Amino acid sequence: MNWKKSQVERCPATVYYVPNFITPEEEASILQAVSRAPKPKWTHLANRRLINYGGIPHPKGMIAESIPAWLERYVDRINELGLFEQGTKANHVLVNEYLPGQGIMPHLDGPLFYPTITTISCGSHTLLEYFEQSENESSDSSTMVRRRIASLLIEPRSLLVVKDDMYHRYLHAIQDRNEDVIDDGIANISQLGHEVKIGEVLHRATRVSLTIRHVPKTTKMKIKLF
């Protein structure tokens, strides 16, 4: 697959969007495997729950853990695409589960990770929004102002690749809501795997995302999980 042909031209550098990266059968298998994950593996946050596979990233270094076989096949597939620098391989997967109405605040992924992020989505669409943040100074005080620069409609079974300024500079977020309205700010609307219309309302279901990436700083110790 030539992923470089899937660049989203209406975004700042650089976003790639590939619809139908996995099959419906693979999607079902992923969702089943995630549903079988032991309860202690999950970290519960206010707006979602998540699992770290491969280790827990930390500024002092990630203690490497083996990635389960059902997930390793997708890590291998990402590595085969050559998305990272030569010799760099994905070694970490963050599994996020979002229920309808759940999202994530605007944020940057930061320096713990190699600045190329890949995400496989399963179960439901979502609307990923990008913001430029700047300081608005007045005579009395200064405040941070966020301006939306782009939205991406992320379909089930798609692959999203984010790097360059879109990784380093622009914050990304998912709004806490149950439905999304299609508008002309959706930058990848011409690259979707199915047709949508301006004004159409899409209702969210439970979404599971696999964010597959490289953590550069790891310790020599490696833990094998059974």
End-to-end Cα distance, the chain: 33
CB-based contacts of 30, cutoff 8 Å, min separation 6: 22, 70, 74, 120, 122, 208, 210
Residues listed for the chain: 226
For residue 125, which of 27, 42, 2 has the smallest C-alpha distance? 27
> How do the pLDDT tens digits run along the chain, 226 residues long?
888 899 999 999 999 999 999 999 999 999 999 999 999 999 999 899 999 999 999 998 999 999 999 999 999 999 999 999 888 999 999 999 999 999 999 999 999 999 999 999 999 999 999 999 887 765 555 677 889 999 999 999 999 999 999 999 999 999 999 999 999 999 999 999 999 999 999 999 999 999 999 999 998 665 554 4
Q: Quick check: helix, strand or coil at residue 200?
A: coil
pLDDT of residue 85: 85
pLDDT of residue 226: 43
pLDDT tens digit string along 132-144? 988 776 555 567 7
Q: What are phi and psi of 185, to 5 degrees?
A: -85, -5
pLDDT of residue 137: 60
Stated pTM of the model: 0.92
